[in-house]
Amino acid sequence: MLTFEVLKTDPTSHARRATLTLNHGVVQTPIFMPVGTYGTVKGVTPASLEAMGAQIILGNTFHLWMRPGQEVMKSFGGLHAFERWNKPILTDSGGFQVWSLGEMRKITEQGVHFASPVNGDKLFMSPEVSMQIQTGLNSDIVMQLDECTPYETKGHITTEAEARQSMEMSRRWAQRSKAEFQRLENPNALFGIVQGGMFEHLRQESLDALVEMDFPGYAIGGVSVGEPKEEMRRIMAHTPHRLPAHKPRYLMGVGTPEDLVEGVACGVDMFDCVMPTRNARNGTLFTRFGDLKIRNARHKADHRPLDETCTCYACAGSGGVSWAEGGREGFSRAYQHHLDRCGEMLGPMLASIHNLHYYLNLMKEVRAALEAGTFGEFRQRFHAERARGV
C-alpha cells in the first residue's frame, strides 16, 4: 500500500530526503507533482512528463466525476489506463473544487449539495461518495474529503470560531472517509488533511486528531486560499515538522519555487501546484535567475534560450545540452516571444515543458543537496540566484 523510508535529514532545518513506495512505483522525495486536472497535464504529453523526470502526477476527483464519469473510468480499470500513465497518481478529494463553487453549493454535516458546473444537475458529494469515486480511479494516494477553510468568510477574515467549526467537521469527515475507504477494501493509501485556518492551536488540534486515526500519510490543506504570503509561510513553518516523522507530509496547492525550497526546510516531502502550467499559458517562465515575461518586447530579437542553464526541450532541444554547456539546439526567446504574440499552440506547450522541467529539476537539485549534506548552502545560493534577475 505505502512504505516510507527517511534516508537523510538536514541538521540546519527540518528537511529530509526519503523514498515513498506506492502500488505503481517508487517516488523519491522531496518531490513536486504536476497537476493533471482532467486526466492530462495541460499542454504536455505523458512521454514528455517521463522525459523530464515526473515521478507522480495528480488527478482531480471532482472534475473526473463530472467528465467522463464513473462508468467510463470503471471500464478502463482506473485513471492509469485511461490516461496511459504507468507511474503513481494522487487524486484530491474534490473538497477544494466544492469550496471554489461559492454560492453554487451548500455544505452540511452530511456532505455538499451543489449544481453541476457542467450541466446544472443537482449533485451530492460526501466523504463516502469521494471514497467511492477515488476507489474507481484506483489512484495510489487518495485524499480524505475535507472542507477547505477559506481565509475570508462572507466578506470578513475567517474568525477562530468559524475556523474551528470547519476544522471539526473536516475531522469528522476524516473518520467517515477512513471507514468507507476500509469498507471498499481500497488497496491504495489514504491521507488525512490538517485544517484549522490561520490558527496554530487549531492546526495542532486537527493534527493530533488525525495522527490518532493513524493515516498512512498527512497533508496540510487550507493554504493558498487567498491569505497573504506571510500568513501562509507562518502555517508552513508551524505544521509540517509536527507531523509523524515516519510518514510522508504533503503541502497542498503550493506554490512558487521559493515556497517549495522553504517548504522543504519546514519538513514537507510533497508539493503540487498549477502554477508551472498556468503561468506558462500566460507567458511567465520560471528560471534559475528569476521569472521571465516572454511577452515583453525586449525578447523580440533575443537569440538566447529562456534559461541558459536549463536542459529541457524548450531550452536545449532533443540533445539535452544546455546553452551554457555549448548546446545550441533549443528555441530562442525571440521564437517563443513570436509564438506567444501569434497565439500559436506551440508557445504554451514549450513554456509548460520548460516550467515543469524547472520545478522537477529544482526538486532533483534539492534531493542531491540533502544527500550531500549541503542543503543549507544550496538554499542560500538558490535565493541569491533567483533574486539576480533574468
350: amino acid identity, one letter: L
The per-residue DSSP string of 185-230 comes to: T--SEEEEEE--TT-HHHHHHHHHHHHHHT-SEEEE-S-SSS--HH
The per-residue DSSP string of 305-349 comes to: -S-TT--SHHHHGGGT--GGGT---S--HHHHHHHHHHT-THHHH
Burial of 374 (C-beta count, 10 Å sphere; 0-12/13-18/19+): middle
Active site residue 340: no
Tell me which H or E stretch contains 280. helix 275-281
Angle, in degrees to the nearest 10, between helices 257-265 and 375-388: 160
Angle, in degrees to the nearest 10, between helices 346-372 and 257-265: 20
Question: Which of the following is catalytic: 10, 146, 269, 272?
Answer: 272
Burial of 40 (C-beta count, 10 Å sphere; 0-12/13-18/19+): middle
Question: Which of the following is catalytic: 92, 140, 269, 340?
Answer: 92
Contact (Cβ atoms closer than 8 angstroms) between residue 222 and residue 148: yes
Active site residue 272: yes
- DSSP state, residue 104: G
279: amino acid identity, one letter: N
C-alpha cell at 314: 524548450
- DSSP state, residue 254: B
Q: List, by residue number, the catalytic residues.
A: 92, 272
